Amino acid sequence: MNFRRQKLDEVGVNLTPLIDVVFLLLIFFMVSTTFTRETQLKIDLPQAGSGETVDSAAPQQIEVTISAAGETAINDKVLIDPSLEKLMAALQRESAGNNNLPVIITADAQTPHQAVITAMDAAGQLGFGRLRLTTSQMEAGGSQ
């Protein structure tokens, strides 16, 4: 008996469909990804006739920004709920327990007074002793 040897087909994996699927997944994730946008609150500062100009380039400071609508941000991170407890937690997190950092409160001229007092109260309850309020220089001859 004469047996023929069968030709062995080379076993291989076709990579073309795999590459197509990977590219489709890549495109899907690129299109469906949302990118975070840094938001800043629009603020028109109140004016004051007296006061000191302070160097705002201090390396370590905490800036509390309050918009006219009462939205609050700490170091450009907007708080969803500007309640006293949330403010205190955010201040504690940003300061990492260092109560010697200056806290700068920048509030819009039309900000509700209660929002500024709440920010001051949160800083005071945590023991921050260096508190500043930001104003703009009053224009000459202008009275409000």
Per-residue pLDDT of the chain (144 residues; tens, 9 = 90+): 677 777 777 777 888 999 999 999 999 988 888 766 555 556 565 666 555 555 555 568 888 888 888 788 888 788 887 788 888 888 888 888 788 888 888 888 788 888 888 888 888 888 887 888 776 666 655 544
pLDDT of residue 85: 86
Q: What's the confidence (pLDDT) of residue 144?
A: 47
Instruction: Please work out, in degrees rounded to the nearest 5, the angle formed at the alpha carbon of residue 131 by the alpha carbons of 61 and 80.
Output: 70
77-78 and 72-74 as β-strands: parallel, antiparallel, unpaired?
A: antiparallel
Spans of all domains in the chain:
47-137
Q: What pLDDT sits at residue 122?
A: 86
Tell me the sheet residues that pair with 64: 74, 105
- What architecture does CATH give domain 47-137? 2-Layer Sandwich (3.30)
The whole-number pLDDT of residue 19 equals 93
The reported pLDDT for the residue numbered 3 is 74
Distance CA 103, CA 63 (A): 6
Closest by alpha carbon to 107, among 32, 26, 42, 36?
42
